Structure 1
């Protein structure tokens, strides 16, 4: 499968270093979640990939070749700020954009009809964009990114402002595009959704990629934590050596090994719980993407990045 490669991008705005060595790749058929705080460099990276901004250094490649204007026409882009013409109808706008990408009038019309149907805005085709709800404007914006049948999808906050039904529809569309071999790169602050939908995730801080991998790879840490659904309260767990209580709600207690600890600390936890009462569940817990993200962004910025 061809790969979209972001290779050592640098970008400054005056004295502000927006990107420093930004590097990652998105393979064909993969959904890649791009997460980070506001101002971390996500939108700047996407705009450089689209050619909207020029990088100070670095290169963006598709299938081993540096992206040029012709290749960028094959990208479907959805900006964070909605970029549709407010007084054009949805249908006219999508046909117009498809024609700009080289589709014939008939093909552009068919594609417009297909995507407005898939995204649930077919009844609003003849409405001006400004008359749509924010959620339907977001659907129309995604249709604009898809109407020319792109080979690459780059989406900046595509789920912003959507209700749960619309989120499911859009998630299904992105999964179908990936299944067809399209690399899908999208940014989002909805980390639970990213965790559910993405094959791999990159966490950005201060213009550089600080963690990247599959959810399972990112969640594999040296931290040892267990969930116990058994005796109410946490007094039984507080008495176990080399263990600290993370949380306790009713009968559900989360405990964590304090430091390296002995290899059998899990058995000690289980034995203490059983001694205090019946145990209905005892499972090893891995951190969620939300917890991983908090740990990463709370860490000090590396000196070479902050310089």
Structure 2
């Protein structure tokens, strides 16, 4: 029995290390993508928070050793706070997306923030720890930590225009870290149930009964004006955007047509145009040509 437990602990350690490496690889790819200075800072702080949180869970506290767990945890809190401040403070247009029809990446980000607050609450509240008991409070603390990682990785990978290789790195790293948690955590049922609840909630919002309600509100809302000048795009082939003139599907305005087509989370009009426009601008940036806003909300929707 002891040999089996030792073998599982060793396997969990290997899974955790692989998970951290994959997350780091995804972070490198993400940070390599061109973007504006404010968003680059937001990305840097966000992935730093994710990596620090992952390291905090992996480096569990042990008596007589350096307090890496606590140091990484406080550093993660500082990085997450900076990420929120840069995102909401330097991009005031961001607040327009906080509606019932908000994109799933924002939902996941809010869940991650709430999970971090639960981690802190359990760790700092003596009253709560006394009521839960030492073992149960520790389990809740860890479970909230793994939920935080799952929500943070979901938040990152669902961002419009995310590079495929970066998304693979984050999701595969998350999978290995969750395997590590399930192998090491004593209260496996609680952890598995929490993760299942999170996945179910995201699925319910994306493809479940709630999806149509959210997207119906998005289709009925006024179109959020984005500054667009054809004079800035004279060097591009018109058919690259106006495909309806080529396939003879109609002659309507892009937004009015695509708004009606936003019948699923994957085809929602805001995410689709964010990915389309930003990737074109990003390609111009790589080629050394003049380019428009990449991720800068205010650059398109400001004013």
TM-score by length of 1: 0.28
Instruction: From the two aligned structures, give the one with the greater helix fraction.
Output: 2
Higher RCO (CA 8 Å, separation ≥ 6 residues): 2
Alignment TM-score, normalising by the size of structure 2:
0.29
